[in-house]
Structure 1
């Protein structure tokens, strides 16, 4: 019966993954033992009412007691951290990237500026995560101790007046079908980062050399920016499509056949665009090959041959990776459990 499965799901999702299968079997057996042979929905509700709130029952299965955050709201506490932390990381990254671009004066090599920005951003991400953990913990402690979580606030608490009717709102999502919010957030970040790299490629990717003061100087770009920018409507459309699909994933939070199909279309369009751009003979800047050949003391033809092979390896890796991702997404969407 749906109520039984929903109740077991609500309990086990609050437990460590290694415990879930055993607890699910034990709990299903307990419920069946408490029910008569030909039971009705009302009898199921009575049994579940006796077992109590899924949050409290899940807390009773844990080996380690939680003293700071009570068992009734511990699951909501963890879920809130999981929901807020990825967005805190994303916002911190975006703020520092935009700030670095705006404040970049060109007086130092771009690679040096990127390394400095990365180290500062990493330190700030750690600080932000610690603050998120601290303030969420404080908020839950205060609300629980003062009775602020006794109301019907689904985002923060499992109601004190829990009833089996609440299970009608439960949507069972298996581990296979689930789309972690962290994957969504970092996919969106990846799309934004790609846009930044694409429109600044002639300042980011290329040859860096040390000057007499030991500072890195950008001497030759790898990409011809004019060639890249000739594809900007396609790239901007694909990036917008990628972000839109990820926002839809954030809404549904599980793999379905339609979502897997949409994701496949995005992959195919991206792969085709990548193939046409990277196979353009004018993609490589004219100054790059001679300077690289001089830097590594070889002939320009050798560098050109290596770049051609590198490009085809990149195309092959992209195709294989996308095929695997498409197959994996449809496999998750087709999973019945």
Structure 2
């Protein structure tokens, strides 16, 4: 005769199937014993066994949720431990990254002599894409942290307020650096491999391909060093003089060659400039005529890029030393 699977057996099987094999037997034995005791307690009070079994299993709830409790596995993407840190970081990135991306797209469209409508459309599209990517990648990072970083055993007390604040600030700064550097590295690799501009169906890099492999490799190494610095700040819990010195050295190491290549015309791909001159000759002539007193449109764009790059580097250096001074006073 075929055997009939009881509700209890179905419930236990549904609970333990997502657990590690090493713990399934123990959980099964525990559930069988606890369910049997609960059912027996109800039947001793005169309740029919079938209804008692159904009531006990209903009180235990969804077997998937019960399995998550046994496995100490969260049923949310970001829990209360990291939600506020994620929210503050996300709002900070929303102020910085979309604006930088919009500025870059605007410059690229100016170099392509696009119309105002095309420029605005491209800026809107890239802002939407950046916001979506920021939301996705920050949630993904914190969801992984939620499931991999163990919960601290000590309970929170008021005495932890100053250290707690510094740690969270360092944490947000580290995550922000990870995301920003990842996006920057992806943009560099995309420009080299896929191209932001395509001519006759072929990728046309904006950055000079002759900078590969040594120049771009050095840039990627500097970016990794920046990431290591952010991690070091987080591990220490505050900015220190040695960390500020390292930050200054890295900033100068990036700025000096970048500005040199930009000013000497070695940063931008000559074929990209030829493409602009060929495909947008009339617009280029008009733009050069309008900017003749300033040396032409390319000189104006180069100057803008140089000023922006120098400004960012100087701000980064000053910011590191200001944070160091605040940490020493505290």
Q: What is the TM-score of this pair, normalised by structure 1? A: 0.47
Scaled by the length of structure 2, the TM-score of the pair is 0.48
Task: Between the two structures, name the one with larger relative contact order (CA 8 Å, sep ≥ 6).
Answer: 1
Give the greater-gyration-radius structure (CA).
2
